[in-house]
Structure 1
Amino acid sequence: MNVLVTGASGLLGRAIVKEFESHDWNVVGLAFSRSSPKLKKVDLRNPNEVKETIEKYQPSVVIHSAAERRADVVEQCPESVEKLNVFATTFIAQICATKKIPLIFISTNYVFDGKSPPYKPDDKPNPINKYGASKLNGEELTRAAHPGSIVLRVPLLFGPVENINECGGTYLYNYVRYSGNIKSVCHFQQRFPTHVNNVASVLRQMANKLYKGESFNGIFHWSSSEQHTKYTMTVCIAKSLGLSHKHILPRESPDAVTPRPHNVKLDISKTLDLGIQVVEIPFSKGIQECLEPFLSKKE
């Protein structure tokens, strides 16, 4: 059982590698800017490097999780981001299709406009920012190049981080710890923070089914059921750490940087129908564990 994981140095990628290794899969993790002795350095924007890597390791399944996920970055540099989010994705799908390798592509709930939740996999996408548009483009090109592929859309992710600013969940700790500063935090856009370990479990269960010869493809969703705003997430962090949140004030208007959908809750029933079983990690418990390594540091 061989799995090849792109973006293996990232927040989700690290969780995927750990999950598969702990269930007796042979894992080949790919990275580029954050490569390490355990991860193979591959530039996914280079078709020759991608082709050589896939041919060398002959994976049973490929999980393509590499992407530029920071919506603000995509908004500012859409052309350079397209090389990773769209071009690289298309070529990976083409190679996997040619070699008849099952492919799971990680996408986002930002392909929807947030006006009619909850969203089922076959609901019509309508992204309102460039990040959502780039991932939707990647989805469509992946499905066209590799009709047997799987797209898994996920929401805001959080999990063990290498630095406090690595994910949107742990970043909010910055608002809590500087208690001398009054901070107005968005209490408008609805979010469903989902632990990367839960997503990794879903992917591993899907891969097990594919390896055993079960036939399924198309678009699937996975998300936590726990609904928050940036404000309630921040308050939750403060309470879980026993810190004050009196300086945190709710703001009933969206952030004014990159447009983001109001409510992109995902319907996960199609994924559950596969027989996927996951014990959901509550945000309060998960975020406390993620932040504990940083609490004693003077940053």
Structure 2
Amino acid sequence: MSSACAEQRLVFSPGLVQLVQDEVLPQGPRVVVTGATGLLGRAVCREFQNHGWTVSGTGLRRARPRFLRCDLTDEDAVRFLFQPDVLVHCAAERRPDVMERNADAAVSLNVHASTACGALLIYISTDYVFDGRNPPYGEDDCPNPLNLYGRSKLEGEREALRHCPGAVILRVPVLFGEVESVTESAVTSLWQQVQEATEERRALDHCLQRFPTDARNVAAVCRKLAERARQDPSIRGIFHFSGKEQMTKYEMAVAMAQAFNLPSNHLVPLTELPAGSAPRPVNSQLNCSRLEQLNLSVEPRAFSVAISECLWPFTADKRWRQTVFH
């Protein structure tokens, strides 16, 4: 966004008082994106902005000058700030192991922050609401989450639909995309082990079947859902979107190595799950036919192509990094 035309205003709520700088934008329909500093939130902001929407994003610890700083667990702050046409709720604690250690705070973010809305709500959920025993899963299949993360997102879905009956729930699997750090995504974090081509072996999970999904594709689906739902009230309830390639973490890492012509013989498939981690579904593949039948889906590109675009700034040639996020 250009900063040539801007104004300052005071944002007040019982939890937060902050001076923020707003840019004067063409008045298209307004979308508020929670978790705008995160991987998916950034992609959603960019997608809506590129299609003529007036975009406001929120963050907390990583809020930047162009995002509103808002504690989404403060219901008064949420009511004060949110008066959009569409609210896309991307903010969440997505790490199952972290969820188990910090249950109260994470559940509050994943569940209760979704309930304050006065417009169309798009709530981002997860394939982890399923137990992975009988894939692929349709929107009407009975959820049975195995860990606290999945349970919290399922409760968030139900709270969203209870408070906002016209809400859209979009379930997605593990995401990757244009990251600021490779550790930002469970997929791109594998790049660190791919590059460590030493004699020391790197064991990677080769049990759990995943469907890595580009956050840019998810953002496009969110925008399509928002545009259609504003015209058609039947666009509501639960939808699934997913990448189409089934891969374990080991297979993702090998694909990354091949994409950059790097060795992969130091990567070893681990066929037993490590002890002590949160339980995860073995295969929670999503059936995405509802989106496809309504012509609201997008066709994912091959994983090797999409992941190459995301990882090239983190190759050994440090000069490439200078062109990213500036």
- 1:212, 1:145 → 2: CA distance? 21
Aligned AA (2:154) = L
SS in 2 for 1:148: coil
Residue 255 (structure 1) shift: 3.6
Query: Is contact 2:241–2:297 with CA below 8 Å preserved after alignment?
Result: no
Aligned AA (1:65) = C
Identify the residue that residue 225 of structure 1 maps to in structure 2. 244
1:92-133: CA deviations, max 9, x gaps?
Answer: 2xxx2xx3x111100000000000000001101011111101
Say which one has the larger Rg. 2
Aligned AA (2:109) = L
Identify the residue that residue 25 of structure 1 maps to in structure 2. 53
SS in 2 for 1:285: helix
Query: Is contact 1:68–1:84 with CA below 8 Å preserved after alignment?
Result: yes
Residue 214 (structure 1) shift: 4.4
Structure 1, 188-197 or 266-275: larger mean CA deviation = 266-275
Aligned AA (1:278) = V
Select which of 252, 255, 259 maps to 2:279: 259
Residue 277 (structure 1) shift: 3.9
Identify the residue that residue 264 of structure 2 maps to in structure 1. 245
1:283-298 aligned within 5 A: 283-295=303-315, 296-297=317-318
Q: Hey, which bits of structure 1, 4+ residues long, moved more than 3 A? A: none
Larger RCO, structures 1/2 (Cα 8 Å, 6+ apart): 1
SS in 2 for 1:151: strand
1:53-75: CA deviations, max 9, x gaps?
Answer: 11xxx311111111011111101
1:160-204: CA deviations, max 9, x gaps?
Answer: 111111101110011111111201111110000000010000000
Aligned residues: 289
Identify the residue that residue 121 of structure 1 maps to in structure 2. 139
- 2:81, 2:178 → 1: CA distance? 28
Tell me, yes or no, if structure 1 residue 83 matches structure 2 residue 108.
Answer: yes
The TM-score normalised by the length of structure 1 is: 0.93
Residue 297 (structure 1) shift: 3.8
- 2:212, 2:225 → 1: CA distance? 21
Instruction: Provide structure 2 residue ranges, at least 5 long, that are not aligned to the other structure.
Output: 1-28, 320-326
Residue 279 (structure 1) shift: 2.7
SS in 2 for 1:220: strand
Query: Is contact 2:225–2:235 with CA below 8 Å preserved after alignment?
Result: no
Tell me, yes or no, if structure 1 residue 171 matches structure 2 residue 199.
Answer: no
Percent identity, aligned pairs only, is 44
- 1:213, 1:120 → 2: CA distance? 22
Tell me, yes or no, if structure 1 residue 274 matches structure 2 residue 302.
Answer: no
Tell me, yes or no, if structure 1 residue 109 matches structure 2 residue 127.
Answer: yes
The TM-score normalised by the length of structure 2 is: 0.86
Query: Is contact 1:169–1:287 with CA below 8 Å preserved after alignment?
Result: no
SS in 2 for 1:4: strand
Aligned AA (1:258) = A
Residue 36 (structure 1) shift: 0.8
Instruction: Provide structure 1 residue ranges, at least 5 long, that are not aligned to the other structure.
Output: none
- 1:85, 1:148 → 2: CA distance? 19
Structure 1, 270-279 or 33-42: larger mean CA deviation = 270-279
Two-structure CA RMSD over aligned residues (Å) = 1.5
Query: Is contact 1:198–1:281 with CA below 8 Å preserved after alignment?
Result: no
Structure 1, 170-179 or 104-113: larger mean CA deviation = 170-179
